[in-house]
A and B are shown apart, each in its own frame.
Chain A
Amino acid sequence: EAGVVQSPRYKIIEKKQPVAFWCNPISGHNTLYWYRQNLGQGPELLIRYENEEAVDDSQLPKDRFSAERLKGVDSTLKIQPAELGDSAVYLCASSMATGWYEQYFGPGTRLTVT
């Protein structure tokens, strides 16, 4: 069974530039999550989708961050414009919609803003 796929794995951009991350969840998983992980810290939830609907985006900095999950499968997380403080690993995870199913994480995208 294929796991959660993320691309790119690494991205280096200059500040004020836009950047986008892509995630393909495990087939059949209705719930998709984006997390951000700063160096030396645990991941922090940015947004959670149930199918196409963003049901928890309270931690998403809406002035520069946006996300979408068209057709309830793949998802894209965008930052525009990027700031130095956005340097982090961006993790995507997916899970079944109900029950106590564990979350399956992708390998993450390491973003460096210079």
Chain B
Amino acid sequence: DAKTTQPTSMDCAEGRAANLPCNHSTISGNEYVYWYRQIHSQGPQYIIHGLKNNETNEMASLIITEDRKSSTLILPHATLRDTAVYYCIVRVAGSGGGADGLTFGKGTHLIIQP
């Protein structure tokens, strides 16, 4: 799986949009971009994933650049409960790829300020 690069930490004011960047310049054509987050003392939680089109769900939006070398996770109205470590992961698609283990980096520690 391709590697990702994320900032170590970020701050965001409560109620504002939190934009978390991720670089994945060596991503392959069959690799998806996944985002997970891990709140303190909990296991990681799936947020969203995408291939090339922008995606939105009830938790967040995922914007993937046209060349697919980078992406941004957007939390539209951050709350204190969004304080967590956010992991950007790229993983191979295809038969069996969806069930493979995840390769986590160190992620971005997002701190929501009151």
Residue positions of A touching B, CB distance < 8 A: 4, 31, 33, 35, 40-45, 48, 50, 56, 91, 93, 95-108
Please count the residue pairs between chain A and chain B whose beta carbons lie under 8 angstroms apart in the complex.
59
Q: Which residue of A lies closest to B99 (CB)?
A: A31
Q: How many residues of B contact A (CB 8 A)?
A: 21
Q: Find out whether the CB atom of A33 lies under 8 angstroms from the CB atom of B87.
A: no
Q: Which residue of A lies closest to B105 (CB)?
A: A42
Residue positions of B touching A, CB distance < 8 A: 32, 34, 41-46, 49, 87, 93, 98-107
Q: Which residue of A lies closest to B104 (CB)?
A: A42
Q: Find out whether the CB atom of B106 lies under 8 angstroms from the CB atom of A93.
A: no
Q: Find out whether the CB atom of A100 lies under 8 angstroms from the CB atom of B98.
A: yes
Instruction: Given A102-B49, A105-B44, A106-B43, check contact A40 B106 (CB 8 Å).
Output: yes
Q: Find out whether the CB atom of B101 lies under 8 angstroms from the CB atom of A56.
A: yes
- Rounded to whole angstroms, the CA-CA distance of A91 and B36 in the bound complex is 14
In this complex, the member of B46, B101, B102 whose beta carbon has the largest number of chain A beta carbons within 10 angstroms is: B101
A102: chain B residues at CB < 8 Å are 34, 46, 49
Would you call the interface of chain A mostly helix, strand, loop, or mixed?
loop
A107: chain B residues at CB < 8 Å are 41-43
Q: Find out whether the CB atom of A100 lies under 8 angstroms from the CB atom of B43.
A: no
B49: chain A residues at CB < 8 Å are 100, 102
B62 to A: closest C-beta gap in Å: 13
| Known A43-B104, A108-B42; further 7 A-B contacts with Cβ < 8 A | A45-B101, A50-B99, A91-B44, A93-B44, A102-B49, A103-B46, A108-B43
Q: Which residue of A lies closest to B97 (CB)?
A: A100
Leading 10 A-B pairs by shortest Cβ distance:
A42-B104, A105-B43, A45-B101, A102-B46, A100-B98, A31-B99, A105-B44, A99-B98, A43-B104, A91-B43
